[in-house]
Amino acid sequence: MTLQQRFGLKGQQALVIGGGTGIGRAIALGLADAGADVHVAGRRPEVLEQTSAELRAAGAQSRTFPVDVTDMEALRALVDDVAQAGGVPDILVNAQGVMSLKAAEDYDEADYARIMNTNVQSVWFASTWFGRDMLARGSGCVISIASLASFRGFARNGIYCMSKHSVRALTETLASEWAGRGVRVNAIAPGFFMTDLNKDVMTDERKTKALSRIPMARFGELDELAGAAVYLASPAARYVTGTTLAVDGGFLAAGM
């Protein structure tokens, strides 16, 4: 196998949930650059169309699937719509996510439901419902976006931390169940990247504190996540499952 074949995704069909902006968009473009046809799903049709146009301009086939994946009936319909439009995806990326910075005692039930329904419930059922068809085919790859919060607790971010611990747990659980049936399940844990999700909620003080704990002394660039996704989706990672790959500038390695 040549290096290009080892890391190439030619002929693969990918679906990126949350692919319209931020981390999802960067990963979608990276998968397309590696040769995959990449379809994007999410809540905002206008940003999906923009990303899909970029993917087509890069030479990929691309469709958009506007959907609120916290609506379980809509998520069920997405599984059917994707299968009818182009078949069961070879690669599923769960890049949907929300967060809210508050003192623990200030969260309410609505906060809890919004974060957990997006970050855990939709990821679990997208993985398992698409996963059923992957298992029936005997091949597939699921990549979910975890977080440094999958490994640590962060003040004023309690429910998000719970949700991202769950993403790591479901990744390991599904990987252990499906490894012998041809479906690999992994996750990527981004370090500090400035996205629409966090750039406006992180105060300057919090950003300064984060930088002080990153050995590379900078925030990540979104396209630096694309290589991790391409690797995990590619034949080069065919013996890799159940891992959560940190892309964090050395944050976790640095300890205290």
Q: Is residue 239 situated within a structural domain?
A: yes
Query: What is the three-state SS of 45-89?
Result: HHHHHHHHHHHHHCCCCCCEEECCCCCHHHHHHHHHHHHHHHCCC
Q: Which of 21, 97, 99, 23 is nearest to 64 (CA)?
A: 21
Task: Tell whether 44 is covered by a domain.
Answer: yes
Domains in the chain, number: 1
For residue 188, being part of any structural domain is answered with yes
Does any domain span residue 133? yes
251 within domain boundaries: no
Start-to-end Cα distance in the chain: 42
From the candidates 107, 112, 160, 231, which is the catalytic residue? 160
How would you write the pLDDT of the chain (256 residues) with one tens digit per residue?
898 999 999 999 999 999 999 999 999 999 999 999 999 999 999 999 999 999 999 999 999 999 999 999 999 999 999 999 999 999 999 999 999 999 999 999 999 999 999 999 999 999 999 999 999 999 999 999 999 999 999 999 999 999 999 999 999 999 999 999 999 999 999 999 988 767 677 788 888 989 999 999 999 999 999 999 999 999 999 999 999 999 999 999 997 6
Position 229 in a domain: yes
CB atoms within 10 A of CB 124: 17
Residue 160 designated active-site: yes
Residue type, 36: A
Please name every residue paired with 188 in a beta bridge, in sequence order, or none if there are none.
Answer: 145, 245
Which residues have C-beta within 8 Å of that of residue 44, sequence separation ≥ 6? Answer: 20, 21, 66
pLDDT the model gives residue 72: 98
Has residue 256 been placed in a domain? no
59, part of any domain: yes
pLDDT the model gives residue 244? 98
Cβ-proximal residues to 203 (8 Å cutoff; 6+ apart), any chain: none
Residue of 160, 153, 148, 172 whose CA lies nearest to 116: 160
Identify the CA nearest to 126 among candidates 164, 55, 71: 71
Task: Tell me if residue 33 falls in helix, strand or coil.
Answer: helix
Please state the pTM of the whole predicted model. Answer: 0.96
β 37-42/91-94 pair status: unpaired
Give, in degrees to the nearest 5, the angle at Cα 197 between 193 and 200: 90
Residue 148 is part of a domain; what is its CATH number? 3.40.50.720
> What range defines the domain where residue 161 resides?
3-246
**Which residue is it, tokens 């995704």?**
9
Please give the Cα distance from 178 to 158 (Å, whole number). 30
